Structure 1
Amino acid sequence: MGLGGGSILIIGLVALLIFGPKKLPELGKAAGNTLREFKNATKGLADEDEDKKKSSKDQA
């Protein structure tokens, strides 16, 4: 059960009414920055896990 086109349109209109047209681009930019930082942090954690696995294999 995903979001259809009509549901996304309604959510967008409600967000526009609540935040206004001037604030909406700022909120989108902030959300994008947050997602980018989260992605980079999780990538760093995954890289650390791979490094630990490689070093434990080298020691064995």
Structure 2
Amino acid sequence: MKPGVTELLLILLAILLLFGANKLPELARAIGRSVTELKDGMKGKPEVPSTTPEQKE
């Protein structure tokens, strides 16, 4: 059974109340990165370090 528009709006409202409007962009960014890492892992791509050697110095 697919959720209807009303159910999706209620879920969105609950998320907004739980995390607040200021945290939603951070949460969405983190979810996007997680999905990207999951897809890359499923394809077998090697991990790219998040810091470059210049940043470590």
TM-score by length of 2: 0.72
- Which runs of 5 or more structure 1 residues have no equivalent in the other structure? 46-60
Unaligned 5+ segments in structure 2 are 46-57
> Larger C-alpha radius of gyration, 1 or 2?
1
Q: Which residue of 2 aligns with 1:38?
A: 38
Identity %: 44
- Partner of 1:5 in structure 2? 5
Q: Greater share of helix residues, 1 or 2?
A: 1
| TM-score normalised to structure 1 length | 0.69
Instruction: Tell me the matched-pair count.
Output: 45
Please identify runs of 4+ aligned residues in structure 1 that moved more than 6 A. Answer: none
Task: Report what 1:52 is aligned to.
Answer: none
Q: Supply the RMSD in Å over aligned alpha carbons.
A: 1.3
1:54 — aligned with what?
A: none
In the aligned structure 1, how far is the partner of 2:3 from the partner of 2:40? 27
1:5 offset after TM fit, Å? 1.2
